[in-house]
Chain A
């Protein structure tokens, strides 16, 4: 079972939070904080698995994470999941995001949080891995998007808006969002 999926940036700002097991609101925030604390102090040349901690479900749980440019993708899983399998699932998820958003960046995740959620729903459902085939996931998402278009040409709007935001010269944005390396690089295989 996947217990939770957390995406946050290098400063610990949550970008997408999905729990598959119930935690009270303040507990969720604590989990995010502590997970960020644990993950952020590890350099890139150590292993991508973290064990221990009694955050979620005690000893039978581990954190499996990947770090892309400005974002951390963290999956909290129990012992019934394969470590390397989940590691590649994260890769699949990110590659799918990249396909759907065409060169995905942190801003896409912020402004299209709902869309990211829909994509995630096609990958993981209720804590179980539903689909690992990227083409299949993209097809499902596109099916939904087509429906969106048929609802009155609205789908173009958010994309326009984002590109507007992207292109706008936003002097006030930064500090937290580091525009310099905002593009998530999706290497065919990140260092591991």
Chain B
């Protein structure tokens, strides 16, 4: 305390002098920061530093609180506070003063204030609201520097809810005459786009204007936005490809002013950004890629100089070339470029080269072969980062023949790496490779043992789960299963006999499960011996209680025979008084089951079929108990959040509107229940906690239901991007050009013939030959004596696989002949359902076919087609009646409309919009609003002269759940006919606009399979339906919902009753239900399809409509408000 007084006293004179002499004040204040810094450097211990800074902060605190402190002194104090905060000492008392400084200071002081605010606070800090007015004022200032400061602070952090307040001002700045202001405004808007995309939806065309700005700096800034938006939705910006290419062309061609050069490279960062955008646009899109080939070639050529930054451009170029639709000569150049990177003596370039190789190696494994010696060298590089990257590359080229060498290298790295992140990642990769390519049982089990002991408790829980699943499900051959399991048992027994104390907990759990399940396979092993080994684990100090309960479970499965039972009894006695309830329960179970062998056999059938075990997660067997308790007067169960809410209501004055008294009515219960993620019924909710408990400790079988399936037969399921795979397929053959083929061959054939001049060199060669084995599939030179490509060893049992595959492939699976016929039949009838538009001859002919619509006609029909396509009836019709073609084209929409399935005809539907067309097919779609669902109708119009076969259409969406309605994935499509597919759509998560993407593949008689991609956008409003509720219900629901948004909307004021008029517009346009209007307030309700209600409270206030939306679904209020805005704007 005396310290403080002393400090204050010493500070006083300087304070006084500050006031009187501003000139010298500056000096002394700076030296105060100086003395602080000097003071800190003098100290020897962290503890002393802490004391000094706390003292300093106390004195600062006193000074900032004093009313006599001038703004200028405040500025100096703030700098010192920033310094203290940087060292990690909190000075929250100063935050409010920082805001005050930004508010009231002159420009210079303001600058410090803003800086302090942006360093101290974060987006969600409550004090930030106080800054909004200051920012508003500064944005309107005539002083450029003030405007700049405001924009900077806005882009650093701004409360999401307050964006609407300043948005118009920031937008205005896009037209500011000063280039720097425009540029900062663009970045601020980008920041808004990142944190609240819905708020800036309406200014997308202004972004375009920024892109076309005459100042290249502003254009560069706008690329940030485009990169982000194109990443989210590449389809939407394909039209800009030309512009980006033109810009890049000009930049590369040196058309920019000289100031944009950096080390005489024109605007390198701009080039990098553009190349990234182009690669996103050209991905999987041949026609767009076509536009950019030339400029990419140009970039590669120009970036020839030997400077760091040109390599940055080259790297992006190469990545772009390998991402977009491939072109052979560009690929060749890019490959050469990658070679330069890999071979470069500069370590940074080598790193990037390896990265690039990793990226392209799936498309072009030959490239790795070319650089095999460099890769080997990188494996022994002293830099761990390089080593790690090399392993990543090797991981991509692993196959059955080189797996042992590669896994060995990975494990070697794992043993020296201490980084958790690396360990988790690599361990997962090793486990994946081991499961995929294991050459034999011993190797597999041993590798997994290493994985478990190294990965320990940091690895992903999927790995042990998937391993145990693999063991328990087994493979096709029973004998193989037995061998694998037996080997595992043997290996674990010997591990337990060694030093089990060093093994990680997860590994011990795996061991105890395997021993519990399969130790009976080892015939010469007494179960009592295993029990004793397991009991040893229980006694170890560092075993966690989770592990102990796994051990207990294993023991329960094993206890038999008198010796076994006695061990079990002993253990269960010790633990039946354990402090841990779970363990106590397990001990009890063990005790009871060990005494009653019959019961034990019933509860834990050995080797039994586990697929029959079902878990009743709703706990319905407790219903009787619950209803009894309820009848006896027990209070119904309420989830915690509801209880809390009620508690809060009881204590505090309710400030919420509509706070009707909340009786514990059935309706409120059901609402909360619906929200609860587990979907437990109310009665089962009563015993919610006990569910958790019974699930926890590891019961008789493994809980693998909820576990994400990461490893499958085909490899790592989740990480492999389907896109990349398709790209791999699409690589045209020229890439594997003959000369590369030769190189690949020679590198292989040369390895054995190399004269062993240097032992080390030879060693490397050997390593190379074993690492890159199996990469050149055309010439399997086998050095290890394995000629045939080893079949994958661990093939999961056919049974379990088939079921899952059937589900996923049901759409694609080729239907049987009968299906085919049925399908044809259906098609015929759908074609002929619009007789008035088709030419007369055709109609009669087809209707006859339709009239007699039996399988026989269809049979002969398809028979004809199969035997002789030239005689195809439709073809002949076209030949005799050419006008029919035009006839079909002109009134297309009307025509298509008539194809709308009868049950959808009377309903509201959107306009039919074309999706995609080529010479043979055209696709269009519309959506129909049914009462309880939204149906997407896709019309497939075959406008060619020939039949299309094997049509497959797939529709999918990130934001929606799509399910096919009806029976017809169309198979065949006659010439000039239309097929209709229906999909029912449900919203997964609300977005302002949702999008469906799809692909149709088909086969023309002559040409091979073709594909067309399409996307269809629809507004969220089409999923909105009125929600019929009474005011009381509304009140109850209002309280239960947690996500809300408030905003002001424009009021339609030209009518008598503005509120009613406005709400009516919303009702008509968005199908909202007006619950009640009282005076200047109104309440409105609607729901997003499938029970996602959203409530809206409107109040007329100062000429605008203040709305407050609430919903249990996050983002729904935001999206709805956007649509309300739109609806009212359009009005």
Which residues of A are in contact with B by a Cβ distance under 8 Å? 14, 16-18, 20, 22, 25-26, 28-29, 32, 42, 45-54, 59, 80, 82-85, 87-89, 92, 110-111, 113-114, 117-118, 121, 125-126, 128-133, 135-136, 140, 143-144, 147-148, 151-152, 154, 157-158, 160-162, 165, 170, 172-177, 189, 192
B-side contacts of A172, CB under 8 Å: 38, 41-42
Task: Given the known inter-chain contacts A54-B421, A59-B421, A130-B187, please indicate yes or no for A111 contacting B33, CB distance below 8 A.
Answer: yes
Encoded as 1 (CB less than 8 Å from any A CB) or 0, chain B from 444 to 481 comes to 00000000000000000000000000000000000000
8 contacts between A and B (CB under 8 A): A22-B122, A46-B383, A47-B351, A59-B421, A113-B82, A126-B156, A126-B188, A160-B27
Q: Considering the complex of A and B, which 3 residue pairs feature the smallest CB-CB distances, nearest first? A: A126-B155, A84-B312, A22-B122
Residues of B near A165 (CB, < 8 A) are 34
Closest CB-CB distance, A49 to chain B, in whole Å? 6
Cβ contact within 8 Å between B112 and A147: no
A49 and B349 CA atoms in complex are apart in Å by: 11
Are B183 and A130 neighbours in the complex by a CB distance under 8 Å? yes
Are B152 and A121 in touch, CB under 8 angstroms?
A: yes
Bound CA–CA A48/B83 (angstroms): 28
Interface residue? B1059 (CB, 8 A): no
Q: Could you tell me how many residues of chain B have their Cβ less than 8 Å away from some Cβ of chain A? A: 77
**Complex interface residues of chain B between 106 and 128 (CB less than 8 A to chain A):** 106-108, 111-112, 115, 119, 122-124
Question: Within 8 Å of chain A (Cβ to Cβ): is B1090?
Answer: no
B520, CB-defined interface residue at 8 Å: no
Smallest Cβ-Cβ distance to B383: which chain A residue: A46
- Whether B88 is near chain A, meaning CB under 8 Å from some CB there, is yes
Question: How far is the CB of A35 from the nearest CB of chain B, in Å?
Answer: 13
Cβ 8 A contact of B385, one of A49, A59, A117: A49
Q: A191 CB to closest chain B CB, in angstroms?
A: 9
Q: Is the pair B425, A59 in contact by a Cβ cutoff of 8 Å?
A: yes
Q: From the candidates B87, B260, B383, name the one contacting A14 in the complex (CB within 8 A).
A: B87
- List, in ascending order, chain A residues with CB within 8 A of B227's CB: 80
- Across-interface contacts of B269 in A (CB, < 8 A): 82, 85, 89, 129, 132
How far, in angstroms, from A172 to B86 measured CA to CA in the complex?
22
Shortest beta-carbon distance from B580 to chain A in Å: 31
Instruction: Tell me the nearest residue of chain A to B351, going by C-beta.
Output: A47
Interface assignment of B145: CB less than 8 Å from any CB of chain A: yes
Asked if residues B31 and A28 are in contact (CB atoms below 8 Å), the reply is no
Asked if B26 lies at the interface with its beta carbon under 8 angstroms from chain A, I say yes
Q: Please provide the chain B residues from 174 to 196 with a CB less than 8 Å away from any CB of chain A in the complex.
A: 180, 183-184, 187-188, 190-191
* Contacting pair B385 A192 (CB below 8 A): no
Q: Is B79 positioned at the interface, with any CB of A under 8 Å from its CB?
A: yes
Instruction: Please name all residues of chain A whose beta carbon is closer than 8 Å to the beta carbon of B389 when the two chains form the complex.
Output: 51
Known: A118-B115, A140-B180, A152-B22. 12 other contacts (CB 8 A): A14-B87, A22-B157, A51-B385, A51-B388, A82-B272, A87-B348, A88-B262, A111-B34, A114-B115, A125-B187, A160-B27, A192-B347
- The answer on a CB contact under 8 Å between B421 and A52 is yes
Interface residues of B (CB under 8 A from A): 22-23, 26-27, 30-31, 33-34, 37-38, 41-42, 79, 82-83, 85-88, 90, 106-108, 111-112, 115, 119, 122-124, 145, 152, 155-157, 180, 183-184, 187-188, 190-191, 217, 221, 224, 227, 259-260, 262, 268-269, 272, 276, 307-309, 311-312, 315-316, 346-348, 350-352, 382-383, 385-386, 388-389, 419-422, 425
- Given A53-B421, A59-B425, A88 and B34 contact (CB-CB distance below 8 Å): no
What's the least CB distance linking B355 to chain A, in Å? 8
Cα(A186)–Cα(B533), bound, Å: 65
- Asked whether, in the complex, the Cβ of A82 is within 8 Å of the Cβ of B312, the reply is yes
Rounded to whole angstroms, the CA-CA distance of A25 and B82 in the bound complex is 13
Q: Judging by beta carbons under 8 Å apart, are B190 and A49 in contact?
A: no
B308 x A189 contact (CB < 8 A): yes
Contact A128 B112 (CB under 8 A): no
A173:B309 contact, CB within 8 angstroms: no
Is A144 a contact partner of B115 (Cβ separation < 8 A)? no
Chain B residues with CB below 8 A from A152, complex form: 22
Check A157/B27 contact, CB under 8 A, given A22-B123, A46-B382, A125-B184.
yes
